Amino acid sequence: MTTSHYIAGRWVEGQGSDCISVNDPALGLPFAELMAASVAQVDQAVAAAREALHAWKQTSTGQRAAYLRGFAEQLGQRREALITLQMRNNGKPRHEAEIDLDDAIATFNYYAELAEQLPQKNCDVPLAAPGFTARTRLEPVGVVGLIVPWNFPLVTSAWKLAPALAAGCTVVLKPSEVTPLIEQTYGQIADTLGLPAGVLNIVNGKAETGAALSGHNGLDKLSFTGSNSVGSQVMRSASAQCRPVTLELGGKSAIVVFDDCDVEQAVEWIVAGISWNAGQMCSATSRLLVQDGIAEALLPRLQAALENLRVGNPLSEEVDMGPLTSQAQWLKVASYFATAREEGLQCLAGGKALDRDGWFVSPTLYVDVPADSRLWTEEIFGPVLCARRFATEAQAIAEANDSRFGLVATVCSADLERAERVADALEVGHVWINSVQAVFVETSWGGTKGSGIGRELGPWGLSGYLSVKHVTRCLG
């Protein structure tokens, strides 16, 4: 898995100027190195996808579905190796790595089913005017570039790759330079299954490689998941080509806890929303809005729960939370701890890096955080929870919606009618009620406002890789 790139059905060494160091975040040490792709190799990957497009989009939807089920089966056969790699390169606890793999497998199986249903979508269109007939065709968008992040490798790429292949698109995939190894599995599986050369291409690299792909005039669509700062650059590149984009960007999501909640259950939902993947989630519910009537009972229990989380190396310990995935992210989170001290925030738990090897920080809780605090408004991407109190339902909705982001939210209340009402009022793409963040492939994923453009998962994820053509015929 250390050969860098998969282009036109062949594994090739990188010819770029960047050397990618692959690290174990629990140790803070590298365990592999890759040479990045050159701009010329990105050109070759796009050209290979373009050459393969005509034949691939002519394959039957049944054939595409068979390949997708093959990807799912092959992921399952590599289960232990992939789980271990997620633990080693991402720092994920074993139970999280297992869920990631199951998610990827479910995604390929789901889009295999949707691929088989595509012919039913090509249908006649009733017209009010006499003398004409019309019909609809759904066709693949074409050659797509997929740029995926480091926090959920394998998963995010499955969310993009499976619907793209189901639609009949060919693909150039660029993994994150922080976690480049696990996506190599898709190239290995393509070889095993005999996927036609050029249908899937994988190029690794840093900013230069990403810029070469996002600005390439040979693409018909680009799908990007990552930070808002990079997403805006991707959007500018796409605008030069008038190319459609899907952008899944950041979040600063709220979890709203009403005073009729069971305290222990609410603590479980809150902790899961901020500590999963060490808080390195665009969907992390990092803004806690807690109603006055339950705050005094809830906050001490929440403090204790965060302090009792087992933090350590998932390869050598049974842990609840692993390290941050990169040194850069560790330094970023540490800078927010310094900002909190400068702002005089009240810290009930954590608020510091851990004094041990690797990139570990403590699960953290700040309370009574002002609405203009940087920690309340900015995406930290770490296990840092900020709490504020509210009095009324209307106040909770207003404060939850007072954000430039709009990805997800969680509502906790024993009054289900109220919970549903609040969920409907929140300006986000996905709301959980009385639940951890359970994500199902059948539902959509994406946000409003600064959290992105478009949707992934469900039938909406497939439609993002399809174009609509109407054929109208005069009967006269």
Q: What burial class does residue 208 get, using C-beta atoms within 10 Å of its C-beta: 0-12 exposed, 13-18 middle, 19+ buried?
A: middle
Residue with tokens 């409003």: 448
Q: What burial class does residue 198 get, using C-beta atoms within 10 Å of its C-beta: 0-12 exposed, 13-18 middle, 19+ buried?
A: buried
Q: Which amino acid is at 271?
A: V
Sheet holding 5-7: strands in order across? 10-12, 5-7, 200-202, 170-174, 143-147, 221-225, 245-248, 452-453
Nearest to residue 310, comparing CAs of 362, 383, 359, 351?
Answer: 362
Q: What burial class does residue 194 get, using C-beta atoms within 10 Å of its C-beta: 0-12 exposed, 13-18 middle, 19+ buried?
A: exposed
Structure tokens at 80: 């232990």
Out of 169, 261, 282, 412, the active site residue is 282
Q: Is 442 labeled as catalytic in the residue annotation?
A: no
Q: Is 474 labeled as catalytic in the residue annotation?
A: no
What residue ranges in 47-157 does DSSP mark as E strands? 132-140, 143-147
Positive or negative torsion for Cα 326, 329, 335, 340: negative
Report the 10 Å Cβ neighbour count for 135: 13
**Angle at alpha carbon of residue 197, lines to 194 and 200, rounded to 5°:** 95
Q: Give the gyration radius of the chain's Cα atoms.
A: 23
Out of 177, 248, 379, 456, the active site residue is 248
Write out the catalytic residue numbers: 248, 282
